[in-house]
Chain A
Amino acid sequence: MNSDGTSSTSGATGSGDSATPRRNSKRPKYSKFTQQELPACKPILTPGWVISSFLLVCIVFIPIGLASLFASRSVVEIVDRYETACIPGGFRKDKVKYIQSDSNKTCRRNLTVNKDMKPPIYVYYQLDNFYQNHRRYVKSRSDPQLKSKSKENETNDCKPEATINGKAILPCGLIAWSLFNDTYSFSRSSQKLQVNKKDISWKSDREHKFGKDVFPKNFQNRTVKGGATLNASIPLSQQEDLIVWMRTAALPTFRKLYGKIEVELKKGDVIQVTLENNYNTYSFNGKKKLVLSTTKWIGGKNDFIGIAYLTVGGLCFLLAMSFTIIYYVKPRRLGDPTYLSWNRNPGGGANN
């Protein structure tokens, strides 16, 4: 059989030269591809490779894990859950009724700064149990309408918040309709802290998805109001709260950027928050939180990734160790023919 291979190979190459004048039309053309002889690298999992790749992963992952854990730990975050606290005592039994009433919903909260916070300090609102990712909700928007004035009547996807009295609502759809409408203002020692609400949305959204010449129309004109109203004289491209809101969150618990405080907060500072508690999360028992946070390269407080990196790194270290032990205790010489099946099965093969 070896001979078969060699003889026909030689035959093939040999007559390959002489074949040119002949009429061998059916003869397969030689190419490394068709003969499946392309040069190839054939890596195999030697113990060395196994151990060193585990070690390599370990070497890469542990520093990254440490660095991100460190970064995450150095983020200062103040979280204030206020949805219950902001309901006056008498209304706590029926929060929904309170929130749907016309009474004054201003609420004051004090936040203590535990650590120095370097600007920019990001202000977030965090909602919970709010399914912004629900299919019905996500689909209920009209991107063409938001972008260009000429398409303001494209509201097919927006039902039931598409039209009012036959006129298109702009921005239409459930997402816009349920725009978050709690507001926050901050002061430190009765000195107002300016909240910068500019550039809290993505630049591409402002410039390409929300038109500069598109103004809200017929918005929240229904009897049942969803959320916030919009100033009809400001083009959508500048309605950044809306733009942020329209980027639907992936999970039912989400944070959205409210604004930035661009002064440093010192440890021990007490921030007074005046908030208008308008948004109804009470129907579905959703929490509302106000978050002040600084950021690092890793973003906000996020220990998970650091821990995950350390875990994988550590695991790889353990694996490297155990494989070292395995190879040491029960070594198998590479390419040891005694492991071939015909040598392992008793009775197979000759006596040598």
Chain B
Amino acid sequence: MGHGKIRARLRSSLYTFSCTNAPKKSVEFDELQGPGFSRVVMCNQPLLYKYRNNSTSTTKYNALTFLPIALFEQFNRVANIYFLIAAILSVTPYGPYNPISAIAPLAFVVGLSMVKELLEDWQRMLQDWKVNMRPALVYNANGSFETQPWKKIKVGDVVKVEKDTFFPADLLLLSSNYDDGICYVETMNLDGETNLKVKRAMDVTLDLDNDASFQDFKATIKCEDPNPSLYTFVGNFEYDKKIYPIDPSQILLRDSKLRNTSYVYGVVIFTGHDTKVMQNSTRSPSKRSRIERKMDKIIYILFSVLVVVSLVSSSGFAYMTKYKMPDWWYLHAPDNKDLYNPDKPTVSGFYHLITALILYGYLIPISLYVSIEIVKVLQASFINQDMHMYHEETETPALARTSNLNEELGQVDTILSDKTGTLTCNQMDFLKCSIAGIPYGQGASEVEAAAVRKMSMDLDAEDFDHFSSEDSTYEEEVELETVVTSNDQDHKRRIKGFSFEDNRLTSRCWWKLPNPDVHFLFFRVLAVCQTAIPEENHETGEYNYEAESPDEGAFLVAAREFGFEFIKRTQGSVTVREADPSSPEPVERDFKILNILEFTSKRKRMTVIVRDDKEEIFLFCKGADTIIFDRLSDKGRTYEKATTKHLNDYGEGGLRTLVFAYKKLDEDEYRSWNSEFQKAKNSVSSDRDDVLEDLSDKMERELILVGASAVEDKLQQGVPQCIDSLAQAGLKIWVLTGDKMETAINIGFSCSLLRQGMHQICISTKDMLANESVQNTKSDILMQITDGSRMMKEETDPDAAYALIIDGKALTYALDEELKTQFLKLAVACASVICCRVSPKQKALVVRLVKEGTGKTTLAIGDGANDVGMIQEADIGIGISGVEGMQAVMSSDFAIAQFRYLERLLVVHGHWFYKRIAQMICYFFYKNIAFGLTLFYYEICTAFSGNSVYDDWYMILYNVAVTSLPVMSLGVLEQDVSSEICLEFPALYQQGPKNLFFGWYRIIGWMCNGVYTSVVIFCLTIFIFSDPPYRSEGQTPDMSIVGATMFTCIVCAVNTQIALLLSHFTWIQHCFIWGSIVVWFSFLIIYGVILPETSTGSYQVFTETLAPTPLFWMTILLVVMASVIPYFIHASLLRSFQPEDHHIIQEIKYLKKDVLDRRMWRRERRKGRHTAKIGFSARVDAKIRQLKGRIQKKGAHLAPQEML
């Protein structure tokens, strides 16, 4: 290989010297040999250079590294280290018990966690394998393209990529099916943008456009080394002894998709992990939930308790050894190992400290981690299995990619959402239009309809108890919510991008309407004023359109449906098949495109100047209403008033509006303008753009208004309802989008994050003047922020809601160290926050700001690679699966197919998980404290000698067998209220963010309960089983009897306690709880019958000595009752004086009040929602206020129905 490299270098240097006339833009040879530019790709000779192959791996381990790395990770946990040391020490003579009892649980726990790791890694491997095995067409030596898996692709291979498939590696585009070598690429996976990008091949390679032409294709590419920058590429292409520079527009990146182009040929430059997209991927940070972090603190507390107890114990021991043990002749002290040496009490005490630290290890629940892990895996499987989160169309179930964060789902405070692909489908639907002052398009705004309905219901409720109509309104309310979903489903069956319903226009008889000529022009503007490419669908004969913006697509579809089908675009003309009143058949008309004045965000309008078949010159213009209205001629304002009214209506409905206008041009007028325009266009002066701008502006005047359109940026199914419920659950929703501010605001309206009457605080940089200093801008933004804050402070109306809209540039400053606290304060106070034009990095920064600034749990949801940063940064990252891009999903913690499933994920699963895990951990500490402390108490009775009253096996069993399953059933199956109720009362969710179930009060309470239980168990058993004979046969209790009794008491008490804690008993809980007690007794029996050498003291302890003894059973009953009474009292008092919401709802359900008193139930259901300032309901409420206000103003008591 070294040899080959030298040769290649030689040759290439020769070429370079010979090619003195190489294009001057080509990168200097020296530069390409320097560090960072060492890659040489021999096209079509993949074997000459060996770079990494194209297989990718995202696994954490491989066969060799698994054991060491996984073990290392396991022992990274403090508790596990402790148990490891304990296990090692237990082999020494200091161990208080059998080494097996220390090693076995540890091995079990660590083994189980490692198996889990292994399984997860296996999943990852399978996923990698799937990607690596994707087929690609690779040119082989035989001169044909054959299918090979992705992983076999090598640098230098020539590959053929077909339409709608992914590029397998980073490629240099050679040619496409288009003559000019262009191809369209969708880079959604890379940057989240859904519009197509055009890539263009170099001219020299254009003739390599069929399979056969690669026979003799040889070329060399010298270029940069792998790097993560997506938008740059430096390299030279050496072909036919000439050197051509490569620019980024010729590079096709892995994981982007070929669209709209039947095939392309390309040479592989980077493979596998060298590709830009892989270089960009970061290993997702490991996230830990809030609860788990707190749990660590508790474990540290317990550690300190452990150390204190051990110190007490060993100083006691040292004291006893020094002062008492010399008198205890029966101990034969000192021994020869200094374990018991009265002369060296400190040494003995030290040894004993080790013993004690191991012995009291039961205070630290060794099985806690593993139990939590098992529980979480099972919980995660509930997410994966939930049929309500399964998306039928894309066949995607929800997927918990990590189970670490389950309970975090129940504590989310702020949701930061991407827009495109997450909230919206990135599809525009033509919904309404206004032509010649006449509105078309049926279907009243849903908000309005709902407001009227709800208001009438409220009036009913206020005026008189409304008879049976109650049920009908109730149904209606439900119906309203379903209507939306069913509607959406209907749309699917219709035409994509067209949800217009109005027979007057769709029946294609528009010429019977008044002002047919205006209609005619409107349609023509729709069809002609655009830059899209038509594509014939050969099956249906219909045309689909590839447009730069989805709006345009919707317009063309609409035009097609109205009878103006755009069928062909050539370099200089557009062909439209127009319906014509004068002929039964549509007429094909060519329009010569004379000029296109493109749409920019600054101009906010687009104009085409065409010459029609009658040689007349028209200017067609579409644009934002304010812009167009300014440019109307006096006689063109006929419909302005009516149109404005319609536009307002549309805007309120969250629709995106554009206004259409035209003007007819004289030949001369046009010609003089055009010559000027062309001249300006070809000039190279610095003010060229300004001149062009001025010229366009001059042309786009004196327009005549024809109408306006309203397009819906189609939301994903159920998004408004979901946002509504989430808002009612008290969650804050921020939208972070790369879109323009207007689009973002539109979406804000359509998903009810914004509404009419909401105060919008827009923060943006003033039209950036180049000379404006950073400091000025900063202070300007600070002023905007403080203005906003002041405005909010002075607000007196409780119903007033504020929305903050900030654009990317302003955000750069707002995220600055100096401004960010003020910005955050303002943002948090606003009901909704929309950040537009933000870069992926800014998204992550915003998430970090919220996360760190508020200290609350954040959730980021997105679908594209541009959301990866924020998904990884947030406490919980959620990826939208089901769409093709996988980047977001791969970096997410949970993947759901649709935004709307977020509601169920949080409000149902999150709520349950949070409570389950919180209760589970509390109980875990309780049970281990209850057990561990009895060991300590007994120590005191044994002169701190480190002896335990229990058999070793009992102690092993405690965490593994007799208490683990019930607590796991708690963690997996507990439900305070059913899923329906969780959804009906979103306010219940607030228990999580408020952390009602894992506050220190509760944790300490449970610990105290554990201490109490341990005292009760120990004292009662010891007092009862002290010196007197304990049965009628006269025998006195010995250690094994006391131990077995005490242990039985613990098992029963702890299991009874969990039975009291549960509020949801399925047969599984019953089985586990009562089964645990049964298991314990069966163990005692079985252990008692095996060889006496192994069981020693416990031999037949149950059958012979305990079972026939009434005192034994009485003790158990007494101890169990005595130990649960405080909890019982506490729970009863809490329920009667400070019932929590779920208590009340449980009671309502229990007494079937929801069925008996439906009015109350419905009322509570309505109120049981966090009063939100955003969301559909809030919008309805606002509308009601508005309507009521209007009624009062009119002073007439009009029925609301009549109002409309």
Binding site for B on A (CB under 8 A): 1-9, 11-12, 15, 24-30, 34-36, 38-47, 50, 53, 57, 60-61, 64, 68, 77, 120, 122, 124, 126, 130-131, 133-138, 143-144, 147, 159-161, 174, 177-178, 200, 202-204, 208-209, 226, 247-257, 260, 280, 283-285, 293, 295-302, 304-305, 308-309, 312, 315-316, 319, 323, 326-327, 330, 332, 334-337, 339-343, 347-350, 352
CA distance A137 to B328 in the complex (A): 10
Give the interface size class of chain B: 35 or more
CA distance A45 to B1131 in the complex (A): 8
Residue pair B333, A305 in contact (C-beta under 8 Å): no
Interface segment, one of B287-295, B888-896, B1161-1169: B1161-1169
Question: B1024, B1028, B1035: which has the most chain A beta carbons within 10 Å?
Answer: B1028
- Once A35-B386, A280-B329 are accepted as A-B contacts, the answer to whether A28 and B945 lie under 8 Å apart by CB is no
Residue pair A251, B941 in contact (C-beta under 8 Å): yes
B712 within 8 A of A: no
Sample of 5 A–B contacts (CB below 8 Å): A131-B943, A255-B1028, A284-B324, A297-B1110, A343-B1167
Residue pair A44, B1038 in contact (C-beta under 8 Å): no
B382 within 8 A of A: yes
Other-chain residue from B388, B1069, B1125 in contact with A5 (beta carbon distance below 8 A) = B388
Other-chain residue from A297, A335, A352 in contact with B1148 (beta carbon distance below 8 A) = A335
Residues of B within 8 A of A200 (CB): 1034
- Once A46-B1147, A136-B333 are accepted as A-B contacts, the answer to whether A209 and B1032 lie under 8 Å apart by CB is no
Residues of B within 8 A of A40 (CB): 975, 1064-1066, 1069
Other-chain residue from A2, A60, A260, A323 in contact with B984 (beta carbon distance below 8 A) = A2
Residues of A within 8 A of B397 (CB): 26-28
Residues of A within 8 A of B1097 (CB): 247
Residue pair A250, B1025 in contact (C-beta under 8 Å): yes
> Nearest Cβ distance between residue B142 and chain A, in whole angstroms?
36
Closest 10 A-B residue pairs measured CB to CB?
A: A300-B1028, A335-B1147, A178-B330, A34-B385, A135-B947, A250-B1042, A335-B1148, A122-B1034, A135-B945, A3-B481
- Once A247-B1038, A250-B1025, A305-B1118 are accepted as A-B contacts, the answer to whether A131 and B1153 lie under 8 Å apart by CB is no
Residue pair B1029, A68 in contact (C-beta under 8 Å): no
B1037 within 8 A of A: yes
B64 within 8 A of A: no
Residue pair A251, B332 in contact (C-beta under 8 Å): no
Residues of B within 8 A of A332 (CB): 1136-1137, 1139
CA distance A342 to B1042 in the complex (A): 52
Residue pair A147, B1148 in contact (C-beta under 8 Å): no
Other-chain residue from A249, A283, A336, A348 in contact with B1036 (beta carbon distance below 8 A) = A249
> Nearest Cβ distance between residue B910 and chain A, in whole angstroms?
14
- Once A283-B327, A337-B1144 are accepted as A-B contacts, the answer to whether A122 and B385 lie under 8 Å apart by CB is no
Residue pair A144, B1111 in contact (C-beta under 8 Å): no
Residue pair B1111, A34 in contact (C-beta under 8 Å): no
> Nearest Cβ distance between residue A285 and chain B, in whole angstroms?
8
> Nearest Cβ distance between residue A333 and chain B, in whole angstroms?
9
B469 within 8 A of A: no
CA distance A50 to B332 in the complex (A): 57
Other-chain residue from A1, A39, A135 in contact with B983 (beta carbon distance below 8 A) = A1
- Once A46-B1147, A50-B1132, A134-B331 are accepted as A-B contacts, the answer to whether A144 and B1093 lie under 8 Å apart by CB is yes
> Nearest Cβ distance between residue A334 and chain B, in whole angstroms?
5
Residue pair B942, A4 in contact (C-beta under 8 Å): no
- Once A134-B945, A250-B1043, A300-B1030 are accepted as A-B contacts, the answer to whether A1 and B984 lie under 8 Å apart by CB is yes
Residue pair B1027, A26 in contact (C-beta under 8 Å): no
Other-chain residue from A24, A43, A323 in contact with B1132 (beta carbon distance below 8 A) = A323
CA distance A144 to B1100 in the complex (A): 17
Other-chain residue from A204, A256, A302, A312 in contact with B1104 (beta carbon distance below 8 A) = A204
- Once A299-B1111, A305-B1115 are accepted as A-B contacts, the answer to whether A133 and B1034 lie under 8 Å apart by CB is no
CA distance A77 to B1144 in the complex (A): 57
Residue pair B942, A131 in contact (C-beta under 8 Å): yes
> Nearest Cβ distance between residue B658 and chain A, in whole angstroms?
33
Binding site for A on B (CB under 8 A): 96, 324, 327-333, 335-336, 339-340, 381-382, 384-388, 390, 392, 395-397, 458, 461-462, 478, 481-482, 485-486, 718, 721-722, 724-725, 798, 900, 903-904, 912, 941-943, 945-947, 949, 973, 975, 979-980, 983-984, 986-987, 990, 1020, 1022-1043, 1063-1069, 1092-1093, 1096-1097, 1099-1100, 1104-1105, 1109-1111, 1114-1115, 1117-1118, 1121-1122, 1125, 1128-1129, 1131-1133, 1135-1137, 1139-1141, 1143-1151, 1153, 1160, 1163-1164, 1166-1171
- Once A204-B1092, A304-B1024, A336-B1144 are accepted as A-B contacts, the answer to whether A136 and B335 lie under 8 Å apart by CB is yes
CB-nearest residue of chain B to A298:
B1111
CB-nearest residue of chain A to B972:
A36
CA distance A349 to B1024 in the complex (A): 57
Residue pair A134, B1029 in contact (C-beta under 8 Å): no
Residue pair A36, B1164 in contact (C-beta under 8 Å): no
Other-chain residue from A43, A50, A327, A339 in contact with B1063 (beta carbon distance below 8 A) = A43
- Once A42-B1063, A44-B1146 are accepted as A-B contacts, the answer to whether A253 and B1027 lie under 8 Å apart by CB is yes
CA distance A154 to B1042 in the complex (A): 28
CB-nearest residue of chain B to A285:
B327
Residue pair A339, B1039 in contact (C-beta under 8 Å): no
Residue pair A299, B1031 in contact (C-beta under 8 Å): yes
Residue pair A254, B1036 in contact (C-beta under 8 Å): yes
SS class, residues of chain B in contact with chain A: helix
CA distance A254 to B986 in the complex (A): 62
Residue pair A44, B1144 in contact (C-beta under 8 Å): no
Residue pair B945, A131 in contact (C-beta under 8 Å): yes
- Once A202-B1035, A332-B1139 are accepted as A-B contacts, the answer to whether A4 and B329 lie under 8 Å apart by CB is no
Residue pair B1034, A26 in contact (C-beta under 8 Å): no
CB-nearest residue of chain A to B729:
A1
CA distance A298 to B1111 in the complex (A): 6
Residue pair B328, A349 in contact (C-beta under 8 Å): no
> Nearest Cβ distance between residue A323 and chain B, in whole angstroms?
7
Residue pair B1034, A174 in contact (C-beta under 8 Å): no
Residue pair B387, A28 in contact (C-beta under 8 Å): yes
Other-chain residue from B1029, B1114, B1133, B1167 in contact with A349 (beta carbon distance below 8 A) = B1167
> Nearest Cβ distance between residue A202 and chain B, in whole angstroms?
6
CA distance A94 to B657 in the complex (A): 111
> Nearest Cβ distance between residue B767 and chain A, in whole angstroms?
43
- Once A133-B942, A178-B330, A349-B1167 are accepted as A-B contacts, the answer to whether A296 and B1032 lie under 8 Å apart by CB is yes
CA distance A323 to B330 in the complex (A): 55
CA distance A352 to B465 in the complex (A): 12
> Nearest Cβ distance between residue B502 and chain A, in whole angstroms?
27
Residue pair B1034, A256 in contact (C-beta under 8 Å): no
Residue pair A143, B1096 in contact (C-beta under 8 Å): yes
Residue pair B340, A136 in contact (C-beta under 8 Å): yes
CA distance A15 to B395 in the complex (A): 13
Residues of B within 8 A of A251 (CB): 941, 1022, 1026-1027, 1042
Residue pair B1028, A4 in contact (C-beta under 8 Å): no
- Once A44-B1147, A133-B1039, A135-B947 are accepted as A-B contacts, the answer to whether A161 and B332 lie under 8 Å apart by CB is yes
Residues of A within 8 A of B979 (CB): 5, 36
CA distance A107 to B214 in the complex (A): 120
Other-chain residue from A27, A68, A124, A348 in contact with B1171 (beta carbon distance below 8 A) = A348
CA distance A293 to B1028 in the complex (A): 9
CB-nearest residue of chain B to A159:
B335
CA distance A256 to B1038 in the complex (A): 9
Residues of A within 8 A of B1067 (CB): 38
Residue pair A341, B1029 in contact (C-beta under 8 Å): no
CB-nearest residue of chain B to A309:
B1118
Residue pair B1031, A295 in contact (C-beta under 8 Å): yes
> Nearest Cβ distance between residue B314 and chain A, in whole angstroms?
13
CB-nearest residue of chain A to B332:
A160
Other-chain residue from A177, A308, A339 in contact with B1139 (beta carbon distance below 8 A) = A339
Residue pair B1038, A249 in contact (C-beta under 8 Å): yes
CA distance A18 to B946 in the complex (A): 67
Residue pair B721, A134 in contact (C-beta under 8 Å): no
Residues of B within 8 A of A27 (CB): 387, 390, 395, 397
